[in-house]
Structure 1
Amino acid sequence: MQSTTRDKAIVEATFSAINSLFVQHLPGYTGPNVSRRGDRVEADAVWTIPELQGLLDEWLLAGWQARPHDALRDPYRPKQAMSPNDKYASLVAASGYLPLVLRGEDYLELLPVAWRAVNDYGIRIGYRTYDSADLGPWRREHSGITAKRGLWEVHYDPYDLSQVFVRTQHGWITIPWVQLPLVNAPFADFTWSHARRLAAEAGLDNTNEAAVARVLDQLLTRAELGPDKRTAKVVGRTRTAAAAHRPPTVPETEPRTEPEITPEPEAKPPAEVIPFGVFDAHAEAERWL
């Protein structure tokens, strides 16, 4: 019971810190109750969920991890508060660490998750349809995860929405976007949102993925020729993210190449060995008498 109470207090303190140090400084913050609600905050709510996630990640790295916490103390310096980074540095200095290279499967595990049904047409995420013949055995089937009402665990890369990854009982399967032939470049979540916005402004149905895909292709291939600076900025972010966000992938089993053996130079004949004489202590003593 004490452990549960302590864990609850830690969770509440964490959320309180996030609200007071991060969330309240964002446009559109409504406050903990109506008495602290700002004036016309709806007009300032400009961040999407993926954008908020990126801001929170940045704040955790640059703000929270480097900020001294009253609850973090060193037994040898109890009067000085330490940051999480300081405590981690002390831990590494005391016990060391073992760096591990992430495998391809580890990378998939770290991606965001969406729980979806596998229907006859495939999987729908954000008005996009993903389908492949590999989904055949799993269509309209229960995933076996009762807590998720039989939905399937789908991982997706916010910086590359051209495919998703579905976890099955036999491992991961990669499912491409059905409209991918219409788009000849990788695109991110914010790129898709911008394309939907442009489609709506042009009077198109921004829930029709084929129409949005055509707008997306025009956005990625010809945006630099137009006067729309916002679109050009989105395209620049997309290209930068596609090139730099993902760590280099290493094949699970790389073929090993034997190192080339350099022939050793011909050995020279050994020099003549001249042995030392046997030491005679009595003869040596006679020399010094």
Structure 2
Amino acid sequence: MLPERWQAINVYGIRINHRTYDARELTPMRRQHSEVAEKKGLWEIHYDPYDVSRIWVRDRRDGSDRRITVFWKHLHRVGVLFGEMAWDHAREQAPGGSEEQIADAAAALLQRAHDGPAEKNARPARASRRDRRVAARTRATTTHRSNPDPPVTEATPEDDADSGLAKVIPLGLFDPLANPWRRS
């Protein structure tokens, strides 16, 4: 269901819209033919325009049909998920910049969108219509969870022995209002 594109896997990985994606699993596929003659040997790549943190490469070699998840090389610079629209806006803020500079500009844009206005009494500088639209769409595409997690009940050792299943360890609850730049 995700959009697809067909392109080569190079030595540095895969470049989409000035972002480089790379993973160890791509090593045997670098600069190789994908065995899809209709697409001239290019590899099938799926991406999510609302989450630029990862892409999926379809590997059809050896009769298998598996998907390889490949992460963006500079994901650690930004710290929160964002989409193509925010990336394109950050590219406009840093024209001719390197991938690292654009990633830093995207991080700064998302930080400003997260912080909001500086003071209530001070008149903030009016953001452009495009800035407001990018911030609104970024906020709208983040995941919100309205239903709380179910309460965790403690299982007795007899229950674990009878069921034959492993003990389930619940994950923490994602808080969309928490500061994503705070290190824990």
TM-score by length of 2: 0.66
Larger Rg, first or second structure (1 or 2)? 1
In structure 1, runs of 5+ residues without a counterpart are: 1-109, 245-257, 259-289
- RMSD, aligned α-carbons: 1.9
Q: CA separation in 1, counterparts of 2:24 and 2:33? A: 18
Partner of 1:153: 44
Q: CA separation in 2, counterparts of 1:193 and 1:115? A: 21
- The AA in structure 2 aligned to 1:239 is R
Q: CA deviation at 1:236?
A: 2.3
Q: 2:4 aligns with which of 113, 123, 131?
A: 113
* Secondary structure of 1:243 counterpart: coil
- The AA in structure 2 aligned to 1:211 is Q
Q: 1:143 aligns with which of 15, 34, 40?
A: 34
Partner of 2:106: 216
**1:21-68 deviation line (CA, Å, top 9, x unaligned):** xxxxxxxxxxxxxxxxxxxxxxxxxxxxxxxxxxxxxxxxxxxxxxxx
Partner of 1:122: 13
Partner of 1:176: 71
- The AA in structure 1 aligned to 2:109 is L
Q: CA separation in 2, counterparts of 1:154 and 1:168? A: 9
Q: CA deviation at 1:242?
A: 2.7
**1:123-174 deviation line (CA, Å, top 9, x unaligned):** 0111110001111121111100111111100000010011100000240010
Q: Which has the higher contact order (CA 8 A, sep 6+)?
A: 2
Partner of 1:84: none
- The AA in structure 1 aligned to 2:85 is F
- The AA in structure 2 aligned to 1:219 is L
**1:206-239 deviation line (CA, Å, top 9, x unaligned):** 4x21110000000001233473243243122112
In structure 2, runs of 5+ residues without a counterpart are: 118-123, 145-162, 164-184
Partner of 1:236: 136
After superposition, residues 42-191 of structure 1 pair within 5 angstroms as 110-169=1-60, 170=64, 171-191=66-86
Greater share of helix:
1
Q: CA separation in 2, counterparts of 1:130 and 1:123? A: 5
Count of matched residue positions in the alignment of Structure 1 and Structure 2: 132
- The AA in structure 1 aligned to 2:49 is P
TM-score by length of 1: 0.43
Q: CA separation in 1, counterparts of 2:72 and 2:22? A: 7
* Secondary structure of 1:185 counterpart: coil
